[in-house]
Amino acid sequence: MAPFPLDLFKTLGPWAYLYFLAVGFAFGYILEISGFTESPILAAQFYLKDFRVLKVMFGAIVTASILIFSAVQLGLLDYNAIWVNLTYLWPMVLGGFIMGIGFILGGFCPGTSMVAAASGRIDGVFFALGVVFGVGLFGFLEPRFQNFWFDSYYGRLTLFDLFHTTPGVIVFLVVLMALVAFALGEVAERHFGRKTERKPAWRYAAGGIALLAGLVLAFTSPRTPMEKWERMAPQMQPLLTERKVYVHPGEVLDTLANDKLRTVLIDVRSERDYNLFHLKGAWHVPLEEIPAVIPKLLDMTNAPNVVIIVMSNDEALATQAWKMLVASNVPNVYILEGGINHWLDYFAEEDGEAIQPLQVPAGAQEVLRWDFEYALGDGYKAAFPEAHKYQGKIPYTPKIELKLKRGPTSGGCG
């Protein structure tokens, strides 16, 4: 059932290798028939004589963008499950500049050099060997400029995050930019390359279809996290029903004390309750603001040791937040069992008479059942008790199991 899984090894097993081989063959074949094994054709791009590189690559970008975000809008694909290369701004700028110089001088980029080498072209073989040498040299020298490499880290940064708009608007603008670039490229080819052959008429129809698809996406509202949850509820609801994601306060305390883990605490209660008392380091994110922090959480969970605990006074609001995060493909999300009220059942004694139980109406939901002498937030000892004092004294069944997100094992250009 949609959204469809992206881990082909789970769905295809060993046959996934055959699928990867077919995709790789198709990619190489397209580069071959496009003329990308001939360095003079590729270098002509920089002399404004032949723009087939721009047309093929930009055409692929436009096609992929439309198909991906159309599938996302139809609920067939979860965009957050797709690996997006992390942004290291200035190293990428410098690397792109260096690769561009190599492209002009050698007439190939890494991907096209491999296709040329596979086609038996000597210049492609030498360029591919140069790529291998360059990668090895980079690996050897990288420790010398680590500060430069990491200083401009922006995480999972996309254009729609940068400009605070929807993916559909960005897709439409990219399509529009591509069509303008194609038109200007043909003008340059006629002027500098003296190209006079007739272009196929179907390209106008293709451009119109792409523009229309981009326009539809631009005016289509993205699915909300709760709309995504409705589609995946049949598979994920058992985790709630069987209480597999409700974590005992004792396990949360042990997790916070574990130096090998980075525990992110998200408190979805009202500002008043949060200011009265909250766990040390808890991030105040009201329920309605959860969608806005999902990109940051996705970036955080690129690390393999991050666990997220959401909490409210009881469990109702935290469960809603959990649904929104899980529906947005944020991994390793759990709920504080019984909420802050249950936490204080164990640890309020740390502060003596400063924290006392309150009588609340039976059946009341998401009501803070404790009275605080002052609004100290995480200033109370109960906000982060000393774990060693409770070690072995609070029995619980461990439930936290870290699930790793997989990135690509390799990459390159066409």
For the stretch 283-333, pLDDT in tens is 999 999 999 899 889 888 887 889 999 999 999 999 999 999 999 989 999
pLDDT greater than 70 at residue 367: yes
Mean pLDDT of 334-350: 96
Which pLDDT value is given to residue 247? 97
361: DSSP letter: -
Is the separation of the CB atoms in 193 and 44 below 8 Å?
yes
pLDDT greater than 80 at residue 196: no
Which pLDDT value is given to residue 410? 47
Mean pLDDT of 107-130: 88
List of E strands, 248-331: 262-267, 283-284, 306-311
Mean pLDDT of 348-365: 88
Which pLDDT value is given to residue 409? 47
pLDDT greater than 50 at residue 408: yes
- Could you give the CA distance from residue 268 to residue 43 in angstroms, rounded to a whole number? 56
How confident is residue 413, by pLDDT bands cut at 50, 70 and 90?
A: low
Which pLDDT value is given to residue 407? 52
| Residues in the chain, overall count | 414
pLDDT digits (tens, 9 = 90+) for 87-113: 889 999 998 898 888 888 888 888 888
pLDDT greater than 90 at residue 404: no
Mean pLDDT of 329-356: 94
State the chain's mean pLDDT as an integer.
89
Which pLDDT value is given to residue 22? 92
Question: Which one of 68-72, 336-340, 389-393 scores highest in mean pLDDT?
Answer: 336-340
How confident is residue 253, by pLDDT bands cut at 50, 70 and 90?
A: very high
**Interior/surface letters 199-223, b for 16+ CB within 10 angstroms, e for the rest:** eeeeeeeebeebbebbeebbeeebb
Measure CA of the first residue to CA of the last residue in the chain; give whole Å: 33
Which pLDDT value is given to residue 252? 95
Higher pLDDT pick, 150 / 372: 372
How confident is residue 39, by pLDDT bands cut at 50, 70 and 90?
A: confident
- Could you give the CA distance from residue 126 to residue 107 in angstroms, rounded to a whole number? 12
Q: Are strands 283-284 and 87-88 parallel, antiparallel or unpaired?
A: unpaired
Give the lowest-confidence range in 145-149, 211-215, 332-336. Answer: 145-149
Mean pLDDT of 357-371: 87
Tokens of residue 66, six digits: 């439309």
Rounded to 10 degrees, the C-alpha dihedral 75/301/402/10 comes to: 40
CATH of 225-390, one of 3.90.1150.10, 3.40.50.2300, 3.30.70.60, 3.40.250.10: 3.40.250.10
Which pLDDT value is given to residue 326? 94
Q: Exposed (0-12), middle (13-18) or buried (19+): which is 388, by Cβ within 10 Å?
A: exposed
Give the lowest-confidence range in 57-66, 88-97, 313-322, 403-412. Answer: 403-412
pLDDT digits (tens, 9 = 90+) for 319-333: 999 999 999 989 999
Start-end of H helices in 47-88 = 52-73
How confident is residue 74, by pLDDT bands cut at 50, 70 and 90?
A: confident
Which pLDDT value is given to residue 2? 56
Which pLDDT value is given to residue 102? 86
Domain ranges of the chain: 8-218, 225-390
- Could you give the CA distance from residue 376 to residue 276 in angstroms, rounded to a whole number? 6
Mean pLDDT of 71-77: 86
Give the lowest-confidence range in 176-180, 278-282, 338-342, 389-393. Answer: 389-393
Higher pLDDT pick, 290 / 118: 290
How confident is residue 182, by pLDDT bands cut at 50, 70 and 90?
A: very high
Which residues make Cβ contacts (< 8 Å) with residue 267, sequence separation at least 6?
Answer: 274, 278, 279, 282, 283, 284, 285, 310, 311, 312, 340
- Could you give the CA distance from residue 411 to residue 403 in angstroms, rounded to a whole number? 23
Is the separation of the CB atoms in 167 and 217 below 8 Å?
yes
Which pLDDT value is given to residue 150? 84
Which pLDDT value is given to residue 83? 82
